[in-house]
């Protein structure tokens, strides 16, 4: 969906009103389907949980420069080397309990799945 907008300036001069307008600016409303699921229903201390997030672009256009971000629950820690994008090993940026991963492009109707494991402390 496109959202268009213009700005106007009215100027009164010599008993006339002149109206000037800007260019038409356009913004596209995006639509992403995001679903996160655990790989198990139960765990114990010392166990692992595999988390997967499915992201689908329903925007009708290609999207660029997206950042996936996941804040790990307290009492868990990231399992090094477990991060995967569409089944291929990838490397997230880790800062404290937050994982981030840059997605260069997500094409129209494209779906990706990001999975990783955490250790239950």
Query: pLDDT value at position 18?
Result: 84
Query: pLDDT value at position 59?
Result: 93
Q: Which residue has the higher pLDDT, 103 or 23?
A: 103
Domain ranges of the chain: 31-120
Q: Which CATH class is domain 31-120?
A: mainly beta
Average pLDDT over residues 37-54: 96
Query: pLDDT value at position 105?
Result: 97
Give 118's contacts (C-beta < 8 A, 6+ positions apart). 48, 49, 51, 72, 73, 76, 77, 78, 79
Lowest mean pLDDT among 8-12, 29-33, 59-63: 8-12
| pTM of this structure | 0.83
């Amino acid at each position: 969906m496109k959202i268009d907008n213009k700005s106007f300036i009215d100027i009164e001069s010599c008993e006339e009103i002149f109206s000037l307008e800007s260019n038409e600016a356009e913004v596209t409303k995006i639509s992403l389907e995001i679903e996160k699921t655990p790989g198990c229903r139960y765990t114990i201390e010392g166990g692992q949980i595999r988390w997967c997030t499915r992201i689908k672009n329903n925007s009708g256009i290609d999207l660029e420069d997206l950042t996936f971000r996941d804040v790990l629950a307290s009492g868990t820690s990231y399992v090094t080397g477990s991060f995967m994008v569409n089944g291929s090993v990838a490397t997230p940026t880790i800062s404290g309990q937050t994982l981030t991963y840059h997605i260069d492009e997500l094409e129209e109707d494209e779906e990706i799945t990001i999975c990783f494991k955490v250790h239950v402390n």
